[in-house]
Amino acid sequence: MKKFSKVLAYLLGVHATALLILTVFRLLFFAAVAGQLPSDAGFGSGPCLTAFLRGVWFDNVIGCYVMALPLLFAIVAAQTGRWRSWMIRSMGVWFGVFYALAFMASAANIPYFLYFTKTLNASIWNWAGYGTTTAGMLLGETSYYLYIFYFAAATAVFSCLLRLYGKRLRRALALSGKAVVRHDRITVRHRLYMIMCSAVLAALCFVGIRGRLGYNPIKVSAAYFSTSPVLNNMGLNPMFCLLASSFDGLRPENKTLRLMDGDEAVSRTRLLLGREGIDGISPIARRVVPEGAPTHQNVVMIIMESMSAKLMAHFGNKKHLTPCLDSLYGRSLSFANFYSSGNHTNHGLYATLYSFPSIMFRNAMKGSDIPVYSGLPTVLKDNGYTTMFFMTHESQYDNMNAFFRTNGYDEIYAQENYPPEKVANNFGVQDDYLFSYALPVLRRQAAAGRPFFATLLTISNHPPYVLPEWFRPRSNRPEEQIVEYADRALADFMAAAAREPWADNTIFVILGDHGKAVGPPDCELPEAQNHVPFMIYGKGIVPQERTDFAVQVDVAPTLLSMLRLPYVQNNFGVDLTREQRPAAFYTADKTIAARNDRHLYVYNAEVDKEFCYDLHAGRPVPVSLSAAHEELKSYVFPLLQATEHLVQQGMTTDKPRQH
C-alpha cells in the first residue's frame, strides 16, 4: 500500500510541476501583452486573477489528458502487486514528450497572439505542408529566439525534474535494472482501499479531462468572461485551443459553414446584391455591359504583405513609416473604409482576384482537385491581356502555381526564377528585388503590343524580417523598420515605372493582402487586422477619397468597370464606381465581423458568442445586441453562407455548368 502511495505522489508531483510551468508561460504571455490590457487589469487585479485561474482550469484539462495512461498503468500495477522499472521510465518518457508539446504550443502562442490577436489554433496546419519554409520563418526571425528559448528552458527544467522524481520513486520502490518487486501480502482491506482510491483518482481524472460536471465538456467559450480579447485569450491553454479547433475541423458537420440554410442565404444574397441570376450559371450571376469602348489599359496590381491601414500616417500613425503610401493615397482614387476578406495571404488573393469572400480559416486554393473560378485574371485573359503573377517565394506555396495557372494566369514568376544568391530567407527574395526583376519583364510585354495584367505579391512585412544592407531605417524597432523598407521598395518601383513608356497607359492598384496587429486590440476582432489601404492610381484618374465601405471582393468588378470590359459577373463584388455597400464584412480564422460607420457586429464561431460594439465615440464600445447589430448580422451571414453554397455546388465560373 505504501508503494502505491509513493507512485500516486509521483504522478501528482509531475502534474503539479507541469501546471506550475504552464502558469509561468501564462506569466510570460502576460508580460508580452501587458500594454494591451485594460487599465483595470494590471497584475494582481481581479480581472487578471480571473484570467489566470481560468488558465489553470484549462491547463488542468490538458494535464489530465496526459495523466490518463500513466494513471491506468499505476492502477493495474497496484492491483497485480507487481512494479517494474520500465514502467516508471516509460511514464517519464510519456510525460516528457507530451508536456514538451504543450510547452511548445505555449511558447509559440505568444508571438502568434501578438501577430494575429488570436490564440494558437488549427489555422497553423496551413503551414504544415511547407516544412522548410515554416522552419525558416521560425529560425530566421531573431525576435522568435526568445520564445524558442522559453520552450527549450521549460523542457530542460521539466526533463531534469522528471528524472529526479523517477529516480526517487525507483529508490522508494526498491527497483533496479529489470527487477520485479512484489508488494508485501495485500490484505483484503488494503485491496479494497486501493480499489476505492483508484476509482476516485480515475473519476477525478475523467472529470478533469471533461473540465466540468455538466452535460457538455469544457469548451473554449469557458475562458470568455470579459470584453477584453486579451484577458479572454489569457485564460486559454494554447494546446487545448489547437486540439479543439483541429478536431472540430475534422467533424463532418464542421467541414462546411453552417450559419443558416444555404438556399435561404442565396435568396437573401440576391436581394442584397440586386441580382436576378443567369440560368445554368448561378443565381447571383449577371451580365455587365459598360458604356463605351474598352480602354485596353495595362493593370499592375501590387498586393502588400500585412499592410494594415493603421501603419499609415493618413490613418493616424505618427511614426512616419509609409511616406510613399501616404503620398500615393492622396493622388489616387482611394478608399478610406476598405477591408481585407480574411487574415491570411491566401484569403486576400482569393477575394481580390476572384471576388469570393474567404470562408474563415479555410484555404480555398489548396487541394489536389484544383477548383475553377472566373475573376479578374480570366476576364482580362479572355480580352487579350497577357497575365502574369510575381511572387517572392516558391510557386507551390499555398498551391499558388496550380491554382493561378488554372484560373487565368499565363506566367508565374517565383523563387525558381531568381538567382539563388538573391534569396534572403525561406520566403524567397526581398521586395526590392521582386520589383527590379518584374520591371524588365513588363517592359518586354509592353513592347509586344498587347495589354498586360501583372500581379506582384510582396513578402518583406512578414517574419522573418530581413533588411537589405543598403537600407537605413529611421525606427529602431524591427517591426517598424520593415514597414519603412516595404514602403521604400514600393517608392523605388513606382519611380522607375513612371519612367517607362507604358506607364501613362497603366492603372496601378495598391492594397494590403490583410492587416496585422497595430497597438492594443480594441475589440474581439481588432480593426487593424483587416483594415487595409486600397488605392487606384494612374494618368487620368481623378484623385478622390471615398469613405463608403468596401471589401476585397469589390476590387475586380471596380477595375473591370474602369477598363470598360463586358463580362459575365458571377461573384460577390460590387462596382465601387457605381454602387455602394451598406457595410463591410470580413473574417479572421473562426471570427466573423460586419461594420458600418456606427456599429460593429462580431461573431466568434469557435466560442459561439456574439460581440456588439458602438462606434460613435470613434472606437468600439461594448453594448448589448440591438436592431442595428441584427441588421449587420443579417447582412454578413447570408453573404458567407451563399459563398459556401455556390462553392459546394461548383457555381464559381462565368461558363454554363455541365450536367
Specify the pLDDT at position 179: 46
Geometric angle at alpha carbon 108, from 158 and 400, rounded to 5°: 140
State how far the Cα of 569 lies from the Cα of 281, in Å rounded to an integer.
Answer: 10
**pLDDT-wise least confident of 210-219, 456-465, 542-551, 575-584:** 210-219
Residue numbers of the domain that contains 471: 288-568+576-589
Residues 433-447: b if buried by 16+ CB within 10 A, e if exposed: bbbbbbeebbeebbe
Specify the pLDDT at position 306: 96
Residue 611 lies in a domain: no
Banded model confidence at residue 253, pLDDT cuts 50, 70, 90: very low
248 and 355 share a domain? no
Please give the average per-residue pLDDT across 158-181, as a whole number: 78
According to DSSP, residue 541 is labeled: P
**Is residue 132 pLDDT above 80, yes or no?**
no
Banded model confidence at residue 135, pLDDT cuts 50, 70, 90: confident
Domain-terminating residue out of 233, 253, 273? 253
Specify the pLDDT at position 6: 86
The total domain count for the chain is 2
239 and 317 share a domain? no
Specify the pLDDT at position 185: 55
Residue 423 lies in a domain: yes
pTM: 0.81
Looking at per-residue pLDDT, the higher value among 473 and 214 belongs to: 473
Residue 456 lies in a domain: yes
Specify the pLDDT at position 1: 59
114 and 180 share a domain? yes
222 and 326 share a domain? no
Banded model confidence at residue 40, pLDDT cuts 50, 70, 90: confident
Cα distances from 426 to residues 3, 108, 456, 462, in angstroms, run 54, 19, 18, 11
Banded model confidence at residue 359, pLDDT cuts 50, 70, 90: confident
Banded model confidence at residue 181, pLDDT cuts 50, 70, 90: very low
Looking at per-residue pLDDT, the higher value among 227 and 514 belongs to: 514
Specify the pLDDT at position 93: 95
Please give the average per-residue pLDDT across 214-240, as a whole number: 86
Specify the pLDDT at position 251: 61
Residue 354 lies in a domain: yes
Please give the average per-residue pLDDT across 519-529, as a whole number: 92
225 and 324 share a domain? no
**Is residue 256 pLDDT above 90, yes or no?**
no
**Is residue 467 pLDDT above 60, yes or no?**
yes
Specify the pLDDT at position 175: 61
DSSP class per residue in 403-440: HHHHTT-SEEE-GGGS-GGGEEETTEE-HHHHHHHHHH
Cell of 228: 477584453
| Ordered alpha helix ranges (H), 81-219 | 85-116, 131-140, 145-172, 188-210
Query: Mean pLDDT for the chain?
Result: 91
Specify the pLDDT at position 245: 82
pLDDT > 70: percent of the chain:
94
Q: Is 132 exposed, middle or buried (0-12, 13-18, 19+ CB in 10 A)?
A: exposed
Domain-terminating residue out of 236, 253, 270? 253
308 and 227 share a domain? no
Specify the pLDDT at position 105: 96
Residue 167 lies in a domain: yes
**Is residue 176 pLDDT above 90, yes or no?**
no
Specify the pLDDT at position 265: 97
30 and 116 share a domain? yes
**Is residue 461 pLDDT above 90, yes or no?**
yes
Q: Which residues contact 207 (CB under 8 A, 6 or more apart)?
A: 213
**Is residue 3 pLDDT above 80, yes or no?**
no
223 and 313 share a domain? no
Banded model confidence at residue 601, pLDDT cuts 50, 70, 90: very high
Per 3-state DSSP, the chain is made up of helix, strand and coil in percentages (nearest 5) of 50, 15, 35
C-alpha 122: how far from its chain's center? Answer: 9
**Is residue 300 pLDDT above 80, yes or no?**
yes
CATH at residue 389 = 3.40.720.10
Banded model confidence at residue 609, pLDDT cuts 50, 70, 90: very high
- Confirm if 400 and 389 have CB atoms less than 8 A apart: yes
- Which of 37-46, 208-217, 297-306 is most confident? 297-306
Q: Tell me which long-range contacts 159-162 makes (C-beta under 8 A, separation of at least 24).
A: 159/96, 161/17, 162/14, 162/92, 162/95, 162/96
Residue 492 lies in a domain: yes
Specify the pLDDT at position 457: 98
**Is residue 83 pLDDT above 80, yes or no?**
no
Residue 634 lies in a domain: no
Give SS3 for 387: strand
Tell me which residue of 69, 70, 89 sits closest to 178, measured CA to CA. 89
Cell of 117: 490577436
DSSP class per residue in 171-207: HHTT--TT-EEEPSPPPHHHHHHHHHHHHHHHHHHHH
What digits encode the pLDDT tens for the residues 146-157? 999 999 999 999
CA 621, 625, 626, 629 torsion: positive or negative? positive
Residue 308 lies in a domain: yes
Task: Please tell me whether the peptide bond between 464 and the residue prior to it is cis, using omega within 30 degrees of 0.
Answer: yes
39 and 109 share a domain? yes
Helices and strands counted in the chain (H then E): 17, 19
Specify the pLDDT at position 127: 75
Please give the average per-residue pLDDT across 18-25, as a whole number: 97
216 and 299 share a domain? no
Please give the average per-residue pLDDT across 238-245, as a whole number: 91
What digits encode the pLDDT tens for the residues 106-119? 999 999 999 888 89
State how far the Cα of 277 lies from the Cα of 300, in Å rounded to an integer.
Answer: 31
158 and 214 share a domain? yes
According to DSSP, residue 212 is labeled: S
Looking at per-residue pLDDT, the higher value among 444 and 367 belongs to: 444
208 and 347 share a domain? no
Please give the average per-residue pLDDT across 217-228, as a whole number: 84
